């Protein structure tokens, strides 16, 4: 907590301590009346940065500002590659604020096949072993964006160790990094996939929620291997729907709706054509349909995903009727978005009905 407070003070001081020249640059870009005028301002800034950034006597505080200016240059569509190496050097700095600025810059500047990646792999390895969890988090952010198939073996052991870190923020980012490795090179982490199952039982809802993304990919590839998790998913979804998660996960008074949506997608895959697995889901799906708030966009999103799940799993007449009632409300809405959503959901429901009713004709 003290580290967070210190970083907050440093960031606050940094935001108020920027040079007048920098603030004038931002102001002039914002007040530009045409793209041509904006381009002229940025091109002048590029020439200025090229002169100053290579000065060996540039103070670190100024270099940090110049790196941020480079980010503006690239955001506005211009080339700032002449300064990439300085962002890489900043990741090596011992000062937390400078290191985090460097990592932020390189993750935005570089792709995972860039030639400069090799220069930060050793730094990432060192920072993943840091006693400061904020440094570890910064390094894990870079791992997710920059580590490619060839460099995965260099950081994989440390990332796996961090799955058991005492800080939930670190565990969450470690799950995300391992998921990224799976996306880039499934064979390199095939022996580590049970870690996603373990993180599903993590005490922190954020870590559990992060594990749903790789599990969704794994279930999409091979649902049969994860049938044993149906009861666990249903129990977790029930806890979420009953507001047992901290209120910080609520969105427009909906309990953790993004976790609900991801779980409904997973259950739809696991219950498809499986009567036994689907039977475990019926009660919680009915509860979600009854309790979801149809007056908010996020509530309607959860309802729509619940209907998709109902239409995908082994059919249940009561759930199909409840889903039809929700669809009717969508179709009667004044919102074109809800009408479209209702038409799409109706198509799914009709497909399910025709699949299970021999007398139905397409």
Which structure tokens are listed for 29? Answer: 């870009």
Write out the two tokens for 360.
Answer: 């139905």
| Letter string b/e over residues 275-311, b meaning 16 or more CB atoms within 10 A of that residue's CB | eebbebbbebbbebbeebeeeeebbbbbbbbbbbbbb
The 10s digit of each residue's pLDDT in 271-319 is: 999 999 999 999 999 999 998 877 899 999 999 999 999 999 999 999 9
Question: Residues near 358 by Cβ (< 8 Å), separated by ≥ 6?
Answer: none
List, for residues 21-80, the tens digit of each pLDDT value.
888 998 999 999 999 999 999 999 999 999 999 888 889 889 999 999 999 999 999 999
Q: Which of 115, 211, 129 is nearest to 162 (CA)?
A: 129
CB atoms within 10 A of CB 153: 12
Q: How do residues 118-132 score in pLDDT, each as one tens digit?
A: 999 999 999 999 999
Spatial distance between the Cα atoms of 66 and 89, rounded to a whole number of angstroms: 13
d(CA 343, CA 331): 7
pLDDT recorded at residue 357: 63
Helix and strand numbers (H, E) in the chain are 20, 0
CB-CB neighbours of 188 under 10 Å? 14
Whole-model pTM?
A: 0.87
**What's the alpha-carbon Rg for the chain, to the nearest Å?**
25
For the chain, percent of residues with pLDDT exceeding 90 = 84
pLDDT digits (tens, 9 = 90+) for 168-211: 999 999 999 999 999 999 999 999 999 999 999 999 999 999 99
Cα 27 from chain centre: 32
The DSSP result for 56-106, as a single string, is TT--HHHHHHHHHHHHHHHHTT---GGGHHHHHHHTT-SSHHHHHHHHHHH
């Amino acid at each position: 907590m003290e580290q967070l407070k210190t970083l907050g003070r440093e960031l606050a001081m940094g935001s108020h301590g920027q040079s007048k020249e920098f603030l004038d640059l931002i102001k002039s870009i914002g007040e530009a009346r045409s793209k041509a005028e904006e381009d002229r301002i940025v091109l002048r800034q590029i020439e200025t940065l090229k002169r100053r950034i290579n000065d060996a006597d540039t103070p670190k505080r100024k270099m940090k500002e110049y790196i941020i200016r480079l980010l503006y240059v690239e955001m506005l569509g211009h080339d700032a590659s002449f300064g990439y190496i300085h962002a890489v050097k900043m990741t090596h700095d011992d000062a937390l604020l400078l290191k985090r600025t460097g990592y932020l810059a390189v993750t935005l500047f570089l792709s995972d096949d860039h030639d400069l990646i090799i220069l930060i792999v050793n730094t990432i390895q060192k920072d993943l072993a840091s006693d400061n969890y904020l440094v570890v988090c910064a390094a894990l952010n870079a791992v997710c964006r920059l580590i490619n198939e060839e460099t995965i073996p260099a950081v994989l052991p440390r990332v796996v160790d961090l799955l058991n870190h005492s800080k939930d923020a670190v565990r969450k980012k470690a799950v995300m990094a391992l998921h990224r490795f799976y996306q880039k090179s499934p064979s390199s982490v095939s022996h580590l996939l049970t870690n996603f199952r373990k993180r599903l039982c993590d005490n922190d809802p954020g870590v559990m929620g992060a594990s749903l993304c790789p599990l969704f990919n794994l279930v999409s590839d091979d649902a049969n291997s994860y049938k044993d998790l149906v009861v666990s998913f249903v129990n977790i979804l029930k806890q979420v729907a009953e507001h047992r998660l901290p209120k910080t996960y609520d969105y427009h008074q909906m309990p953790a709706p993004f976790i609900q949506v991801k779980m409904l997608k997973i259950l739809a895959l696991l219950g498809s054509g499986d009567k036994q697995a689907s039977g475990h889901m019926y009660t919680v799906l009915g509860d979600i349909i009854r309790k979801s708030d149809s007056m908010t966009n996020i509530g309607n999103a959860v309802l729509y995903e619940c209907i998709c799940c109902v239409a995908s799993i082994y059919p249940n007449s009561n759930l199909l009727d409840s889903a039809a009632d929700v669809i009717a409300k969508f179709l009667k809405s004044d919102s074109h978005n809800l009408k479209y959503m209702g038409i799409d959901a109706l198509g799914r429901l009709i497909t399910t009905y025709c699949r299970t009713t021999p007398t139905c004709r397409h």
